[in-house]
Amino acid sequence: MDYILTAESLSKHYGHFKALDGFSIHVPKGAVYGFVGKNGAGKTTLIRLICGLQEPASGSYTLYGVKNTEPGIAKCRRRMGAVVETPSIYLDMSAEENLKEQFRIIGLPSFDDIPGLLRLVGLEGTGKKKAKDFSLGMKQRLGIAIALAGSPDFLILDEPVNGLDPQGIIEIRELILKLNREEQITFLISSHILDELSRLATHYGFIDSGHMVREMSAKELDAACRKCIRVQVSDIHALARVLDGMDFQYNIFSDTMADIYAKVNVSELTLALAGQGCDIISMTEREESLESFYVNLIGGGKGHE
């Protein structure tokens, strides 16, 4: 597989504190990679490293296959754009003026693409309106337009919908999907809310305490959150024997309760259990939510912010 970004054994310390600790990541080309972790998990630290704003203490990463210690890395960084923390926009300037400024900074003074770029992010009608009078969602879209100024094919967004209203969230989501599908831009999107990413991510990486806990595709996450039958029985050992006999997958999580991951024929199961002297107390169909998957994977509670 072609990877835009990889990292192995990456570490970054702030004093004695390890913000990244033996961290690894693999972002495939064309992916919308949801980078999920609690506040303080180390997401922004990784982003700062790959943007070249900070140096790792140890370990390495590659961008477009080029290692961070190789001379070609600066050129690779020009192929990517990033909106980190708050977008860097001039509040006293219009959207067009902001983009002109960015084009100047990166040495593209022809300004050719500006109307197209404004259209792409849905800010074409904003005229002379200053960025300070924009909604938060419009500011975020302007930040994305600025990051797109050098025509990157890899875009990093750090908590892009933080603080946005539901309409703003939908607009950003649609913009990301459009840029991914129509412009073939690979995304790395950090968030502390899994649910918000689940509508667009093709891949996930779960980070906790500076460590990659698990990477998986959206398909694998779907399978992990698959439907199951939750049963409560009078004799959990009898249930286990019967389910083993039927070759069903299951998970026992208390003295009386279990989740069964299979198409269950209810009367067959009831009969088999009755044969073992076991009663069914309750039976419900349920789907593990993304949130409970996330909590099981990296634990509940708030971050250490």
* Position among 4, 32, 43, 260 found at the interface with ligand ADP (CB under 6 A): 43
CB-nearer residue toward ligand ADP: 24 or 276: 24
How far, in Å, CA of 47 to CA of 157, rounded? Answer: 9
Q: Which stretch binds ligand ADP (CB under 6 A): 11-19, 72-80, 225-233, 280-288?
A: 11-19
Cβ 215 to ligand ADP shortest distance, Å: 16
Q: Nearest 5°: CA angle at 146, between 217 and 76?
A: 60
Residue 49 binds ligand ADP (CB under 6 A): no
* Position among 36, 41, 114, 185 found at the interface with ligand ADP (CB under 6 A): 41
Write down the H helix ranges in the chain.
Answer: 43-50, 73-77, 95-105, 114-120, 136-147, 166-182, 194-197, 218-224, 236-246, 266-275, 290-298
Residue 45 binds ligand ADP (CB under 6 A): yes
Per the CB < 8 A criterion, the answer to whether 97 and 61 are in contact is no
Residue 19 binds ligand ADP (CB under 6 A): yes
Residues 21-40 that bind ligand ADP (CB under 6 A): 37, 39-40
The one-letter amino acid code at 174 reads E
Residues binding ligand ADP: what is the number (CB under 6 A)?
Answer: 12
Residue 14 binds ligand ADP (CB under 6 A): yes
How far, in Å, CA of 1 to CA of 186, rounded? Answer: 14
Residue burial 269-303, b: 16+ Cβ < 10 Å; e: rest? beebbeeeebeeeeeeeeeeebeeebeebbeeeee
The one-letter amino acid code at 293 reads F
Cβ 207 to ligand ADP shortest distance, Å: 7
Cβ 162 to ligand ADP shortest distance, Å: 11
Binding site for ligand ADP (CB under 6 A): 14, 17, 19, 37, 39-45, 304
